[in-house]
Amino acid sequence: MSSIAWLAVAATAAGVVSAALVLPAMGSSGAAVVAASEALNFQPEELEEPALAEKTTVYDAEGTRIAQFYAQDRKVVPLDRIADVMKTAIVAIEDDRFYEHGPIDIEGTARALVKNLASGGISQGGSSITQQYVKQVLLNSAGTEKEKSAALEASYARKLKELRHAMAVEQKYTKDAILEKYLNIAYFGAGANGVEAAARRFFGVSAARLDLAQAATLAGAVQAPNATDPNLGAKARKLLLQRRNVVLDRMAELGRITRAQADAAKARKLGYKGVKQPNGCQESRYPYFCEYVRHELLSNPAFGRTRRQRELAFSQGGLKVHTTLDPKAQKAAEAAIKKHVFASDRALAAEALVKPGTGEIKAMAASRPFGDSARRNEISYNAVADKEHGGLIGFQPGSTYKTFTLITALKQGMKIDDGITAGAGYTAPGYATFKNCADENVGDPSWTVTNDEGAPGFKTLATGTWGSVNTFFMALQERVGLCPTVETAKSLGIKRADGAKLREFETFTLGINESDPVTVATAYAAIAARGTYCPPMAITRITGRDGRTTDYRPRCKQTLDPQVADATAHVLSGVFTRGTMRGVGGIGRPAAGKTGTTDGYASAWFAGFTPDLAGAVSIGDPRGSQRYKLTGVTIGGRYYGAVQGASLPGPIWNDTMASALRGVAPARFTPVDATRFGGCSQDCAPARQDREDPTMNQPEDEDVQQPDEDLPGR
């Protein structure tokens, strides 16, 4: 009896092969068959079926898709959401007796074996749909190139292994279930995995709406998807058209369609549309927020214990990620930045909006487009976030850090009208004047901080803040302590954008630590929330492919005494009416904030809040803010002799807030506790001191930072 006959005898009606293969040795190829059959126990072998890689989709707070990510473009769909004509076409061309035979199509395998044995190798497939499904599973499960090569190896050992798995698959599933699995795993070319992705990419329709010609095209593509990939050009499209017509002829030959239907479908053009399927943040409408979410999913242990687990879940898990992004707030931030800063400008503006009491990031925007084209002035990093979320080093935030010294003074019992006489310059009395949190001396009696604008004199917590007087805040930080000021900042989430430790030097209060808008906005949001700090939050809910949903809630804690936060908000409110933002004005509702301008106008900031929303705006030159300073520059079509916090970031913040909060009833801050913070105690103004500080009519002082190499301990 021939080898073909023995194989036929071995296949039972139930599809379970129990007999051993007895194959005569016929030259080298016969010997290979014998060796392979002896090495394998020809019994059903369970097939491991890992979940198929699917797209992860990201949604805004209103449920609108804003981005998607995938290692393989695929959307798994049930069989009842695949057009009947697609099922008919694939069965007709790939395995027309699929519903009649067991795990092995004896007739098809016999034809293939005759040709293969005659040729001395494997030149014809003859595989059933079940076998093809097994092959695709093994290929998709391969983690290395070696494993992938083994899954595609042209050998009888590999073929026999597939048959054993196919036997197990046929025992486990119905024919319809196997067909569904095959149509969802098959590769169709043009980057489309599975019939749903293929239908959308090839023709712009769902798999449920495929017509005869379209179904025949996809059915024809699976045999050689790389050769017939329509994206490769005219030759490949011609091959695909030929394959479509072969499928139509086969369907007519089998009586699945009429000859007239086949001819009508064959007369149609290919109809390939190549519908673009976005992949990644560069193709998102909101790339900076998208980048924040992507890095959060990959770095935060809340989304997987190991980096590998997080990467697999993200790129293959078919997740639905719901986020905090508010389209209205995002539009407001984008419009405000675009109004004041052009995408073509060298200077880069960035803004983050955060909701007090939750830490939810409502918007992230920047003036330059996200991408890697220098010609289009694009940037390929997250200008709004820290390094952990795709950013770089950020910009020095200047006087926005003075708020932490103000808070520390209030925490230690100073009243709003308590003050210090500030000189034209401040020099630390000694090295021990300032101690960092390691109790090291970091004072520098050789360095003098000056006020470029404004007059010296007695400044209260209020007037010193409104005028942003450098020498006042150096003296105030000396009084309350450097380390307590640093600890206050840390309690509000302040950290360096580059991930390094905060630099605890005497000029800490002047904002020498490079920061990012998300971090600064979140710190100011804690003041608005009466001292409740909530870490930045971008993801609210994730639904897995299994339908299970995990909700993520704010992780807030009370880090400031609410009354201290109220007093801080009260003082910062005066920045709009009597301080550095006086010339810009307010937004028609209670608001508080602080301008920031760094040494030599290297960068400029504004950070502020209402009871409902907090935000921070930064601007600087990403080529190097210390080298390319904001002096003598044209930004947004307007010339600036020097950019200060109130001249550009402040107006951007105002425009953003006015638009983002339009339609929201104004909320008021909790009134300051006058018995605790009102008036002054032992640090009152000298007799007959004019309470209207003369510096209120002056521009903001430039925040002078000493070069790193000049400070002791650096």
pTM: 0.84
Separation CA 331–CA 329 (nearest Å): 5
The confidence score (pLDDT) of residue 28 equals 40
> Which pLDDT band holds residue 526 (cuts at 50, 70, 90)?
very high
The confidence score (pLDDT) of residue 39 equals 47
Query: In the predicted model, is pLDDT for residue 710 greater than 70?
Result: no
Here the tokens at position 558 are 């009370």
Least confident of 145-159, 382-396, 422-436, 500-514: 145-159
Please indicate whether residue 652 or residue 125 has the higher confidence score (pLDDT): 652
The pLDDT of 417-429, averaged and rounded, is 94
> Which pLDDT band holds residue 126 (cuts at 50, 70, 90)?
low
Tens of pLDDT, residues 65-106: 999 999 899 999 999 999 999 999 999 999 999 999 877 776
Residue 229, SS3 per DSSP: coil
Separation CA 533–CA 404 (nearest Å): 14
**Cα–Cα distance list, 692 to 458, 568, 578, 603, 699 (Å):** 11, 19, 9, 29, 15
The confidence score (pLDDT) of residue 284 equals 94
The confidence score (pLDDT) of residue 155 equals 72
Cβ–Cβ < 8 Å for 516, 384 = yes
Least confident of 214-218, 281-285, 303-307, 434-438: 303-307
Averaged confidence pLDDT in the chain: 87
Tens of pLDDT, residues 216-266: 999 999 999 999 999 999 999 999 999 999 999 999 999 999 999 999 999
**Bridge partners, residue 67, by sequence:** 58
Q: What percent of the chain has pLDDT over 70?
A: 86
The confidence score (pLDDT) of residue 236 equals 96
**Across the chain, how many H-helices and E-strands are there?**
23, 20
Query: In the predicted model, is pLDDT for residue 291 greater than 90?
Result: yes
Please indicate whether residue 149 or residue 496 has the higher confidence score (pLDDT): 496
Tens of pLDDT, residues 536-580: 999 999 999 888 999 999 999 999 999 999 999 999 999 999 999
Query: In the predicted model, is pLDDT for residue 8 greater than 80?
Result: no
The confidence score (pLDDT) of residue 387 equals 96
Tens of pLDDT, residues 329-367: 999 999 999 999 999 999 999 999 999 999 999 999 999
Tens of pLDDT, residues 142-177: 767 777 777 677 677 777 888 889 999 999 999 999
The pLDDT of 640-666, averaged and rounded, is 96
Give 11's DSSP letter.
Answer: -
Query: In the predicted model, is pLDDT for residue 36 greater than 50?
Result: no
Q: Which of 704, 706, 698, 589 is nearest to 646 (CA)?
A: 698
The alpha-carbon radius of gyration of the chain (Å, integer) is 35
Nearest-10 crossing angle of helices 175-185, 195-203: 50
Residues with Cβ within 8 Å of 442's Cβ and at least 6 positions away in sequence, in order, are: 431, 434, 435, 436, 482, 504, 505, 506, 711, 712, 713
Can you list the alpha helix ranges (DSSP code H) found in 412-481?
Answer: 461-466, 470-480
Query: In the predicted model, is pLDDT for residue 60 greater than 70?
Result: yes
Delineate the domains of the chain, giving CATH numbers in brackets: 1-43+99-172 (no CATH), 366-710 (3.40.710.10)
The confidence score (pLDDT) of residue 321 equals 96
Here the tokens at position 307 are 């980096």
Cβ–Cβ < 8 Å for 365, 333 = yes
The confidence score (pLDDT) of residue 448 equals 94
- Characterize the bridge pairing of strands 532-533 and 425-427: unpaired
The confidence score (pLDDT) of residue 9 equals 33
The confidence score (pLDDT) of residue 452 equals 61
Can you list the alpha helix ranges (DSSP code H) found in 633-681?
Answer: 649-660, 674-677
Q: Which residue has the tokens 């339609």?
A: 663
Residues with Cβ within 8 Å of 84's Cβ and at least 6 positions away in sequence, in order, are: none
The pLDDT of 114-124, averaged and rounded, is 49
